[in-house]
A and B are shown apart, each in its own frame.
Chain A
Amino acid sequence: QQQVKQSPQSLIVQKGGISIINCAYENTAFDYFPWYQQFPGKGPALLIAIRPDVSEKKEGRFTISFNKSAKQFSLHIMDSQPGDSATYFCAAFWTGTASKLTFGTGTRLQVTL
């Protein structure tokens, strides 16, 4: 049972464009939603995270949009750069239980020149 569904599986965006990755969750108890970025041969690293009491969080060119009623959240990468080419994972966490972060299946982003 996939508790966090992520799409698309892969994405190609031109330099300067907007990359959008979507995630949907099922468990309404989730209360922390991080995004991790992974470069080839490396482990994932936290990129940005949001809690459901806000609808949007922005850090530089990266923005999380959160829709609690639809149980969806998305990552927007503005002015996408070739250096953003990586795999992105959304995740969800319920802080009230044992520490188990549930990850989406990942999106492989390629930013072309």
Chain B
Amino acid sequence: DAGITQSPRYKITETGRQVTLMCHQTWSHSYMFWYRQDLGHGLRLIYYSAAADITDKGEVPDGYVVSRSKTENFPLTLESATRSQTSVYFCASSRQKGEKLFFGSGTQLSVL
């Protein structure tokens, strides 16, 4: 039972580079989410998806792009990384709207 997996676990990149964080879930959950976690801000929603090919903005979407061509995958792309995007990124999924969220172990991203 793999659950929800994120890769890479750690990533260091430079300002201006494109970076893609991967998220894969094996439960066929309908909903998937991307959060960033920063000290003093808690968990803030970047983007979410209700199903394949359906995505919507969260609280802090600027500078990020998502896609969901398959139910099980929900990659997050930073088109041109900035230092303010240094953070820990968590992917999560839920079976249906309003149900328990299952989180991955996170990707720690540093933008130099």
Contact = CB atoms under 8 A, between A and B. Distances in A.
A25 B101 CA distance: 20
Given A104-B42, A105-B40, A106-B42, A95 B98 contact: yes
Contacts of B40: 9, 105
Given A43-B92, A44-B103, A45-B103, A100 B48 contact: yes
Interface residues of A, number: 24
Interface residues of B, number: 25
Contacts of B42: 6, 89, 103-106
Interface in B27-56: 31, 33, 35, 40-45, 48, 50, 56
A92 to B, nearest CB: 12
A99 interface: yes
Given A44-B101, A95-B97, A105-B40, 4 more contacts: A32-B98, A43-B90, A101-B33, A105-B41
Interface of A: 6, 9, 32, 34, 36, 41-46, 49, 89, 93, 95, 98-106
